[in-house]
């Protein structure tokens, strides 16, 4: 019996090596010092103020419009298109600001991936995983939740937060704030893991057969 237990433990160890892990790269906005670039995100802008791509900037605490927006804290901060966080945008037409976060599931089973989070925006936001909408929100003082348990792909995945800033001819800043909760994904076992698992199971079967034969001959 002791040998059977040892063999079963070997097989279990092989399974455990394909354990669930958190998804790397799901970073909250504003991890860093105020005024620095948030390199986790890439920003594409379609606006009557400016068109193009850039790296968003982490806001400074206690500087307008932060505190009109939900105040920054140690978990996350607002990010904005430029270091001038109070800049007014989109005087005549709504602007679209797409903040993209990329994460890589190479070596993991994409079918097992999941995450949850929450988002704030000025003004509205749609959350898209690999171009499929998974949530939307509207507000800069109350969080909106988002989750995903499907729609992932092996390799690089794209999570877009598409912010619409409503037209207003003055005092019209825009920004995004994101916080992630739990995430999980299961690693794809290496070939050596499968070999260990099969070997362990084979040993269990061999020992069980021997015991059965001994009992039959007794």
- DSSP codes, 21-37: EPPTT-PPTT-S-TTSB
Average pLDDT, the chain: 87
The verdict on 71 and 176 lying in the same domain is yes
The verdict on 196 and 100 lying in the same domain is no
Cβ atoms 83, 57 nearer than 8 A: yes
The verdict on 72 and 128 lying in the same domain is yes
Cβ atoms 43, 101 nearer than 8 A: no
The verdict on 77 and 11 lying in the same domain is no
What does the pLDDT look like over 35-86, one tens digit per residue? 999 999 999 999 998 899 999 999 999 999 999 999 999 999 999 999 999 9
| 8, β-bridge pairs | none
Q: From CA 6, how far away is CA 16, in angstroms rounded?
A: 15
C-alpha triplet 73, 79, 82: angle, nearest 5° = 140
Tokens of 19: 């354990």
Is the confidence at residue 199, as pLDDT, over 80? no
Tokens of 95: 């602007």
The verdict on 149 and 215 lying in the same domain is no
**What mean pLDDT do residues 169-195 have?**
86
| 146, β-bridge pairs | 117
CATH number at residue 95: 2.60.120
Lowest mean pLDDT across 109-118, 121-130, 199-208: 199-208
Cis peptide before 123 (omega within 30 of 0): yes
Phi, psi values for residue 159, rounded to 5°: -115, 115
The verdict on 153 and 209 lying in the same domain is no
The verdict on 7 and 112 lying in the same domain is no
Q: From CA 1, how far away is CA 215, in angstroms rounded?
A: 13
The verdict on 92 and 138 lying in the same domain is yes
Domain that holds residue 211: 1-18+189-218
CB atoms within 10 A of CB 144: 17
Q: From CA 40, how far away is CA 101, in angstroms rounded?
A: 6
The verdict on 214 and 162 lying in the same domain is no
pLDDT confidence band for 194 (50 / 70 / 90): very low
The verdict on 47 and 110 lying in the same domain is yes
> For the chain, how many structural domains are there in total?
2
End-to-end alpha-carbon separation of the chain, Å?
17
The verdict on 216 and 155 lying in the same domain is no
pTM of the model as a whole = 0.82
- The full DSSP string for 45-96 is EE-SS--EEE--EEPPTTSTTBTTBPPP-SS---EESSS-TT----SSS-EE
The verdict on 11 and 94 lying in the same domain is no
| Percent of the chain predicted with pLDDT > 70 | 78
For residue 139, give the DSSP letter. -
């Amino acid at each position: 019996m002791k040998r059977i237990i040892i063999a079963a433990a070997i097989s279990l160890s092989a399974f455990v090596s394909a354990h669930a892990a958190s998804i790397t790269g799901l970073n909250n906005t504003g991890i860093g010092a105020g005024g620095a670039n948030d390199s986790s995100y890439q920003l594409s802008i379609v606006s009557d103020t400016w068109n193009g791509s850039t790296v968003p900037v982490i806001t400074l605490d206690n500087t307008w419009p932060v505190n009109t927006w939900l105040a920054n804290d140690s978990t996350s901060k607002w990010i904005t298109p430029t270091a001038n966080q109070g800049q007014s945008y989109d005087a005549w037409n709504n602007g679209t600001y797409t903040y993209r976060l990329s994460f890589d599931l190479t070596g993991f089973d994409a079918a097992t991936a999941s995450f949850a989070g929450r988002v704030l925006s000025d003004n509205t936001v749609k959350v898209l995983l690999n171009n499929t909408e998974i949530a939307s929100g509207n507000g800069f003082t109350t969080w909106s939740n988002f989750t995903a348990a499907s729609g992932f792909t092996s390799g690089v995945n794209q999570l877009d937060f598409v912010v619409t800033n409503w037209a207003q001819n003055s005092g019209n800043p825009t920004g995004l704030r994101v916080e992630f909760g739990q995430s999980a994904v299961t690693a794809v076992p290496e070939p050596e893991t499968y070999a260990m698992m099969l070997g362990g199971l084979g040993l269990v079967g061999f020992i069980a057969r021997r015991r059965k034969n001994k009992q039959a001959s007794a």
